Amino acid sequence: MSRWTEGAVPSQVGRTVLITGGNTGLGFETARMLAQAGATVVLACRNPARAAAAAARIQAATPATPATSGTPATSGTSGTAGSRGRVDVVRLDLASLASVHEAADQVRDSYPAIDLLVNNAGGVNPRYQLTEDGFERTLATNHLGHFALTGLVLDRLLPVPGSRVVTVASIGHRRGVIDFDDLQASRGYRFQQAYFQSKLANLLFTYELQRRLAAAGAGTIAVAAHPGNARTEFGRDMSGVVRVAMSPRLRALTWWLMQSPQVGALATVRAATDPAARGADYFGPPGRSQFTGYPVRVESSARSHDPEVARRLWAESQRLTGVSYPVAAVRPGRR
């Protein structure tokens, strides 16, 4: 296949997808494509009203047929090739462990099986903020909240053939360093470094999760993706220069630097649905810069593949969140 487009997405009829931050931008486009392919999509979002509006927009564009209407679909539900999935909403604030637990409980009660977990939500805070749990907010939203959520619902994925955990990273991870001496940035906050650290954490988490899944003989795989540079609401709290660069009105000048959220989301969708994807695959735009383009397999930084750092981050994330996983740790030296 020369390039992965929306038309390449295989049927997702009968599959259940849980996606964080699916009400806007890349998450919305990911949810839309999966719903149009037939999946039952659960939008886990901080703002229920915005999530409900997004769900209505997706549902209006992909009206349910009798094959998918009614009770929520679960893995193995049959449908026709023309079926379109339903869209549900769960309230989730990744910056609050209490909210993560409440959302996970609701998901577990409503969906006995999950085929895809898409850890999509992300953000960056220009000013230093601590969450109610005492975590730096960017790290909490981008990494710790997803670490907790994944651990709390993983047993809903493990029995499902072909299930996946997809985590959305960033090309910014290349500039990231995990500062174990000051993980919460209490000794001087620089929002760029906080963001880069959290995005590196996303990849370290993905690769360590894949090692643990493989060691346990699980069929579930962990994969990652990044959208390149996409024009979304992500930059609304950033500097004026960044907001101008992301403006759709300048696409004729910034086409080489920025792409639409529809194309940016294709990396996540490919990671979630490509039948040829393997555990620890990483998808993003092609080329040296990986700014724009249709997704291919790409390489992440050497830091992201350091197993010692990954194990240490895993242990610290487990300590901070209090969430353990139903898969065993990998012994040092085992790959």
Would the CA dihedral through 165, 320, 99, 190 be positive or negative? negative
Domain that holds residue 297: 11-233+260-321
Specify if 195 maps to a domain. Answer: yes
Copy the structure tokens of residue 282. Answer: 């990483």
How many other C-beta atoms can be found within 10 angstroms of the C-beta atom of residue 326?
11
pLDDT at 258: 77
How many other C-beta atoms can be found within 10 angstroms of the C-beta atom of residue 34?
30
In this predicted structure, which of 64-78, 117-131, 146-160, 176-190 has the lowest mean pLDDT? 64-78
Q: Give the chain's mean pLDDT.
A: 88
pLDDT at 332 over 60: no
Specify if 4 maps to a domain. Answer: no
Per the structure, how many domains does the chain have? 1
Give the residue-averaged pLDDT of 75-82. 38
Copy the structure tokens of residue 137. Answer: 């907010």
Specify if 286 maps to a domain. Answer: yes
* Residue 4 neighbours by CB under 8 Å, 6+ apart: 266, 270, 274, 294, 295, 296
pLDDT at 79 over 90: no
Contact 27, 51 (CB under 8 A): no
Give the residue-averaged pLDDT of 104-120. 98
Q: What is each CA distance from 147 to 30, 203, 236, in whole angstroms?
A: 20, 12, 26
* Residue 230 neighbours by CB under 8 Å, 6+ apart: 25, 26, 258, 259, 260, 261, 263, 264, 265
- Residues 226 and 242: their CA atoms lie apart, in Å, by 19
pLDDT at 31 over 50: yes
Three-state DSSP at 149 gives helix
Give the residue-averaged pLDDT of 124-148. 97
Specify if 5 maps to a domain. Answer: no
Give the residue-averaged pLDDT of 211-229. 97
Three-state DSSP at 335 gives coil
Query: In the chain, what percentage of residues exceed pLDDT 70?
Result: 83
Three-state DSSP at 87 gives strand
The pTM of the full predicted model, rounded to 2 decimals, is 0.87
Give the residue-averaged pLDDT of 27-56. 97
Specify if 282 maps to a domain. Answer: yes
Copy the structure tokens of residue 243. Answer: 């907001």
Specify if 251 maps to a domain. Answer: no
- Band of the pLDDT at 61, cuts 50, 70, 90? confident
- Residues 71 and 74: their CA atoms lie apart, in Å, by 9
AA letter at 186: S
Task: Tell which residue, 277, 175, 185, 302, has the closest CA to residue 223.
Answer: 277
Specify if 244 maps to a domain. Answer: no
pLDDT at 122: 93
pLDDT at 247 over 70: no
- Band of the pLDDT at 66, cuts 50, 70, 90? very low
Active-site residue list: 195
Whichever domain contains 192, its CATH number is: 3.40.50.720
pLDDT at 179 over 60: yes
Give the residue-averaged pLDDT of 276-289. 94
Specify if 326 maps to a domain. Answer: no
H-state helical runs in the chain = 25-36, 48-61, 97-110, 137-139, 145-153, 191-215, 240-245, 251-254, 261-264, 266-273, 307-321
